[in-house]
Amino acid sequence: MQQPDFNRAMREGLADAIGFVGGALAGWWLGRRFGIDFVASTDWNAQQVVGLVLIVAGCGAGRFLARRVMLKDKP
């Protein structure tokens, strides 16, 4: 049985955390630039759904980019 690589697991976890939070904040900021503030709104309409989609897409894109940057050249 192969030993788990603790250093790689820590880098992956850190990349995921930074990517999700940073991406969500970037998606929220982009929504606010378009005049959609999903976080502060009490309404639930199509505009708010677009704001939520921007935040969720930001989470995925942020995670992808953080993993590419933090785990490059690492097996």
* Structure token digits, residue 4: 């788990």
Cβ-based neighbours of 60, under 8 Å, separated by 6 or more = 23
* Residue predicted with more confidence, 23 or 2: 23
Query: Would residue 6 count as lying in a domain?
Result: no
Query: Would residue 55 count as lying in a domain?
Result: yes
| Residue 17 backbone dihedrals phi, psi, to 5 degrees | -65, -50
Query: Would residue 57 count as lying in a domain?
Result: yes
State the DSSP string of 4-55.
P-HHHHHHHHHHHHHHHHHHHHHHHHHHHHTT--TTT----SHHHHHHHHHH
Query: Would residue 16 count as lying in a domain?
Result: no
How many folded domains does the chain comprise? Answer: 1
Q: How confident is the model at residue 2 (pLDDT cuts 50, 70, 90)?
A: low
Q: Which domain holds residue 63?
A: 43-75
Give the model confidence (pLDDT) of 13-50 as tens digits.
999 999 999 999 999 999 999 999 888 888 888 999 99
